[in-house]
Chains A and B, each alone.
Chain A
Amino acid sequence: MPRDSLRLYRWLLMAYPSDFRREYGAEMIQVFGDLRQDAQTDGRVGLIALWARVAADTVITATLQRSYQMTRKLTSSTLAAAVLLLPTLIFLLIMFTRFVLGLEGPYNAWERFYMNPGLSALNWALERFMVLAPFGALALAALPITHLQVGREDGALVASVSVKVSSVTIGVILVALLMIAAIMGYGFVENFKPV
């Protein structure tokens, strides 16, 4: 039983981010073992109370820890890239609701806005922005992950490139690439409709 509960707690720790687990996982298991020994003095009730407390604590703190780590990894350029993607994302969602889900409401609202002659200059700019934004976002998210270092070693010029990438950056890059593919696909379908 004690070994099983330690194994179960070790399994629960998978909810935490890997960096956090590497740093504190062993200590947390040890502390849990100590708390379990204390709880055993109150018998089965003590163990149930401990598990209830630990399970609830794990759900809350693992979620907090994941969001905390994500915020730390979010650089200003990644954040700017994510913001740049928003208008295109909204546009693609509107197209998705119409062409895939068959819902006309969001599309009709978009069309009323898009066809409004008073807003033609804004729409002209928005249209180009939505096509170009995913490329800008891709550049913003991808450029800071490479670091070029140039130095001299034994009289020779040496250049090295290091790459540091977080999961959040990878996510933004993937979304930007998907959007570029979707925008190009949409443009192709709109311009080369079969007669």
Chain B
Amino acid sequence: MKHETPDPHNPLTPAAFHILLALADQERHGYGIIREIEQRTGGQLRMAPGTLYGAISRMRDDGWIEEADERPDPPLDDQRRRYYRLTELGRRIATAEAQRLASLVESALAKRLIGPVSHAEA
């Protein structure tokens, strides 16, 4: 199913959202995406190559991400590596998903399922 516009009732898969998040601040290659997700989740999510490139393939088909020309990771640079970046559509999809999750967290807060999360805790 092709997402051409952000749909608040159609949540993304966790893998897709994590990849979009990893690319939100800079272009990255496949291994860079895996490392960023692993670091951000404290090692709880370790993506394997099949999941990563399956998601990348679908997101490129849907126009959410594209291959980047810039090579912003000099220590790990290798001409064979391809870097990926968010497209405008991909950014809108990621923003819509983040807002959907934020409103869910607000509901959980309102129902006292969780307490306010400070940045120090997070």
Contact = CB atoms under 8 A, between A and B. Distances in A.
Interface of chain B, main secondary structure: helix
Interface string A38-76: 000000000000000110111011101100100000000
Contact of A61 (B30, B51, B80): B51
Contacts of A56: 48
Interface residues of B, number: 19
A127 interface: no
A20 B55 CA distance: 12
Nearest to A65: B54
Contacts of B30: 27-28, 30-31
A62 B58 contact: no
Contacts of B52: 31
Contacts of A61: 48, 50-51, 54
A28 B58 contact: no
A83 to B, nearest CB: 21
A49 B52 CA distance: 18
Contact of B82 (A27, A54, A58): A27
Interface of chain A, main secondary structure: helix
B56 interface: yes
Chain A interface size range: 20 to 34
Nearest to A69: B57
B81 A27 contact: yes
A34 B52 CA distance: 14
A96 interface: no
A91 interface: no
A28 B54 contact: no
Given A31-B30, A35-B49, 12 more contacts: A24-B53, A30-B30, A31-B31, A31-B49, A32-B49, A54-B48, A57-B48, A57-B51, A58-B48, A60-B51, A65-B57, A68-B54
Interface of A: 16, 20, 23-24, 26-28, 30-32, 34-35, 53-54, 56-58, 60-62, 64-65, 68
Interface of B: 29-31, 34, 46, 48-54, 56-58, 78, 80-82
Give the 6 A-B residue pairs with the shortest CB-CB distance, closest first. Answer: A61-B50, A57-B48, A28-B49, A24-B53, A57-B50, A34-B31
